[in-house]
Chain A
Amino acid sequence: MYHTCWQTNYVERVLMSKTKETKGQMRLVEAILASFIIILAITFLNVFAFTPLSPKYETSDLERIGTNVLHDMDEKGLLCRFVYNEEWTTLKIALMVSLPPEIYFDLNVYDANFSRVNDAPIRYGDLEVFENSSYVASVTYLVPGYQADYDPQVILLQLVRE
């Protein structure tokens, strides 16, 4: 009687340990499967979503940067001074300092009849860069005049990332 009982206990213990092992392995498989599903979902989103840094938005990002730089210079009263005093070299340096170094620019100033005012190019970067680039952003900015003279001029700034 005692022998049979001992045998039964032994068999139960062996069975219990086997069940625990299988349970542990299954939990591992389930966790791996669950992680795989979540990673798949995140990867799916990353592949199909256009992030704000995507080349699709390159032009609008450059436009934003260009407008901000011109607007800041105008707020400080520098833009009109450079344009109406025809300080083209200073304007070029100011733009080079204000814009990130990897951005090339080409700026032209036109009068009310759309005749170009600047005789020399106000450019940073080779002309080929602007001709060959797929993403050229263009910013139009109007200045009404300087000091007591109303003489509106149109600033056209083209931007390309290196």
Chain B
Amino acid sequence: MRNVKHKKGQFIVLAALIVAVMIVSIGTIMYGTIMYFRHERWQEYLMIIDNVELGSQRVLEISLADYTSNFNNSQILVDNLHKWRTSLTNGYPGFGVALTYSGATISNGTRPINSVTSDTMHFSSANATLNIDITTVGLTGYKFVASAFLGVILNATDDGNDLVISIAVEKEDSEPVTHLSKDSFSINDQSLANMSSTLTHFFETDNDVLRIIYRIVVRNYPGPSNVHVAVVDPRGIKVVADSDVT
């Protein structure tokens, strides 16, 4: 009877000891894991990658804005990406940041909106595939695609003496471009701000795509039967569209 009692007591203490050993072991493993990731400075490299990705996106936007200002220099994207590569190496000295790019294209034109309707979208776009290597951590081949896009769908109608223009404006991933003012539009190379006109906007869903439609009414429009509309978004990217007035 006495022996049994002693064994029970030892068992509880022994169980507590085992639990304590487990706590210390798990704690040590977790501590080691935290320390490893902390000391490896992953955060710092992730910050650089974020900065390079967003910066490269901005380079494409800047290049497209520059190209669409006169539609002449299609080499601007390659030139700017080359300069950006040098800036990154200089801006993060000691990290071994190397940026390479391929498939850098810049263009403007028209394309069908979808296969159902005959409507077309006028667009300006820039695309590039970029690759980051950070040699100090052995990171190679971090690839991502950057693109800048501005597209419009134009429809112009004659309403007595007035010209009524409905224009849908979108950027990358079919995202509507909001906050455009009269200064953002020009009609037949004349700013809308200098014309007797009104500008309103509303949202419309077209084949599950949400579009913002800007409705422009130009009073006493004496212009030709063809209208030429240019739109500049807040990033400075311009897109030009032509349409017959119906």
Residue of B nearest to A44 (CB): B24
| 8 Å CB contact of B43 from A37, A40, A60 | A60
Q: Judging by beta carbons under 8 Å apart, are A144 and B59 in contact?
A: yes
Q: Judging by beta carbons under 8 Å apart, are B34 and A52 in contact?
A: yes
* A140: chain B residues within 8 A (beta carbon): 91-92
What CA separation (Å) do A149 and B67 show in the bound complex?
Answer: 11
Digitize A140-162: 1 where CB-to-B-CB distance is under 8 Å, 0 elsewhere.
11111111111010100000000
* A148: chain B residues within 8 A (beta carbon): 62, 65-66, 69, 236
Q: Judging by beta carbons under 8 Å apart, are B15 and A41 in contact?
A: no
- Any A CB within 8 A of the CB of B113: no
- Closest CB-CB distance, B82 to chain A, in whole Å? 10
Chain A, interface size: which category? 35 or more
Q: Judging by beta carbons under 8 Å apart, are B9 and A26 in contact?
A: yes
- Closest CB-CB distance, A144 to chain B, in whole Å? 5
Q: From DSSP, what is the main secondary structure of chain A's interface residues?
A: helix
Q: Judging by beta carbons under 8 Å apart, are A34 and B12 in contact?
A: yes
- Closest CB-CB distance, B35 to chain A, in whole Å? 7
Q: Which 6 A-B pairs have the closest CB atoms?
A: A34-B16, A41-B20, A147-B236, A148-B65, A45-B27, A148-B66
Residue of A nearest to B63 (CB): A150
Q: Judging by beta carbons under 8 Å apart, are B12 and A31 in contact?
A: yes
Give the total of B residues in contact with A, Cβ under 8 Å.
44
Within 8 A of B (CB), among A100-145: 112, 139-145
Q: From DSSP, what is the main secondary structure of chain B's interface residues?
A: helix
- Closest CB-CB distance, A108 to chain B, in whole Å? 14
* A75: chain B residues within 8 A (beta carbon): 54
- Any B CB within 8 A of the CB of A13: no
* A45: chain B residues within 8 A (beta carbon): 23-24, 27-28, 31
Given contacts A30-B9, A148-B66, 6 further A-B contacts (CB under 8 A): A34-B13, A64-B47, A67-B51, A144-B62, A150-B66, A152-B83
Q: Judging by beta carbons under 8 Å apart, are B12 and A150 in contact?
A: no
Residue of A nearest to B76 (CB): A150
Residue of A nearest to B19 (CB): A38
Q: Judging by beta carbons under 8 Å apart, are B20 and A142 in contact?
A: no
* B47: chain A residues within 8 A (beta carbon): 63-64, 67, 71, 139
- Any B CB within 8 A of the CB of A5: no
- Closest CB-CB distance, B66 to chain A, in whole Å? 4
What CA separation (Å) do A31 and B9 show in the bound complex?
Answer: 9
Residue of B nearest to A29 (CB): B9
Would A63 and B13 be within 8 Å (CB), given that A26-B5, A142-B55 are in contact?
A: no
Q: Judging by beta carbons under 8 Å apart, are B13 and A33 in contact?
A: yes
Would A147 and B9 be within 8 Å (CB), given that A38-B23, A45-B27, A63-B43 are in contact?
A: no
What CA separation (Å) do A74 and B59 show in the bound complex?
Answer: 13
- Any B CB within 8 A of the CB of A50: yes
